[in-house]
Amino acid sequence: MEAVQDKNAGWLVAAVCIAGPSLVSLIPMAAAPALVAMARHFGTSADSQLFSQMVMTLPAAMLVIASPIAGWLAGKIGQRAVMLASLVLYTIGGAGVLLTEKWEALVALRLLLGIAGGGLLTSSLGLIGDHFSGHRREKILGFATSVSSLLAGLALVFGGRLVDLGGWQAPFAFYLLGIPTLAFAWAVIRNAETPAQSAQSEGPVRELLHVWPYYALLMLLTLGMFTPSIQAGFVLAAKGIGSAELIGETIAATSFVAMVSAWGFGFLRRWIGLHGFLAIDALSMGAGILLIGLADSVAMIFLGCALVGIGAGMSEPATASILFARTRPVAHALAMGVVVSALNAGQFFNPLIFDPLRRGLGAAGTFVALGAVLIAGVFWSRARGRADIFERDN
């Protein structure tokens, strides 16, 4: 369990910690408006659709692998070194796509971007745990997700416009934001002292085994979280809506609603317990995905994306807060690395799960099935933390 200690490193450190997840949110979302145009560029078959989806989610595979390694490295060389190196790789792997149209280079740069994102998000979350505590930390976690959702939504809206104006590569210019963030982090971030592990205590890996169900639930929630951005564009295209700008604006509803719900997370903690947030997350995502699957109009798809956004904004700060509270500081770096792995495993497996299910159940049946599984997560959250549905200590 976490030791009680009041920590507040100030708003400059908080700003960098919030900027890190915001940049990582661009890894899938800057590419999302370009998926349909990218599929046209590389071909018009169903295989090219899957390729464009995999280009969006390929970095998530590397985040899954790189994040625990980054958490381990942070415990050895410090969070600052991991963050700075990650920002350098982020700029190269992201903006490098502007200089090539070869699919081999595109895949290689996206994999490099995933490694960078794993280190950047892990170090950002770890720094929040190192430098802040209590409800202040929960508010910063919420703010980080909120600003991430805002930037992701802006990338979807303006990225679609950039695609219409400059082609499928244009949105990759968003990754140049890594340069000013690197300069700011270099000036502001310092490592915090981490308490030494006692000889009698469990190691970080064994300690995380006690909280594995939360990682499994987070993977499921992330699978739902990215369904609008990965799948809804093709649902809209099947209805004859081919404008990248309109597709981006529709699925951006998820990000903009997530921005509001994440911003309110720290304030709503006065009344709602952390397991209460997990139940809300699963219910809203499940209902939204069901609605998208059954939709017969753009308005219904827009509403479904918005419902998914409610849970998308609160699932990461709620899960991270639970894990910070249930593990000791010596395990926080690795715990956040595995959080990032769980977040991106759901994203990476989304097209791999949807593709065979779509062939067997059809598009509507696949959305209905996933929505039902997510709603079942409500009952798991209720059973897992019956005493933590409402906040009792105001």
Question: Has residue 393 got a pLDDT over 70?
Answer: no
Residues 6+ apart with CB under 8 A from 121: 20, 21, 24, 63, 67, 340, 343
- pLDDT tens across 165-188, in order? 888 888 899 999 999 999 999 999
Residues 6+ apart with CB under 8 A from 111: 58, 59, 61, 62, 93
DSSP for 190-245, written as a single string: -PPP-PPPPTTSPPHHHHHGGGHHHHHHHHHHHHHHTHIIIIIHHHHHHTT---HH
105: Cα separation from own chain's centroid: 24
Per-residue pLDDT band for 394 (boundaries 50, 70, 90) equals: very low
Per-residue pLDDT band for 281 (boundaries 50, 70, 90) equals: very high
46: tokens are: 């169903």
Which pLDDT does position 351 carry in this prediction? 84
Nearest-CA neighbor of 276 among 129, 381, 133, 144?
Answer: 381
% of the chain exceeding 90 in pLDDT: 40
- pLDDT tens across 43-99, in order? 655 566 677 777 777 888 888 899 999 999 998 899 999 999 999 999 999 999 888
To the nearest whole number, what is the mean pLDDT of the chain? Answer: 86
Q: Are 126 and 71 in contact (CB under 8 A)?
A: yes
Mean pLDDT across 201-217: 82
Cα separations in angstroms, 292 against 155, 359, 384: 22, 18, 29
Per-residue pLDDT band for 392 (boundaries 50, 70, 90) equals: low
Q: Are 334 and 204 in contact (CB under 8 A)?
A: yes
Per-residue pLDDT band for 100 (boundaries 50, 70, 90) equals: confident
Which pLDDT does position 197 carry in this prediction? 55
Question: Has residue 38 got a pLDDT over 90?
Answer: no
The H or E element that residue 99 is part of is none
Dist. CA 285–CA 394, nearest whole Å: 28
Greater confidence, 335 or 204?
A: 335
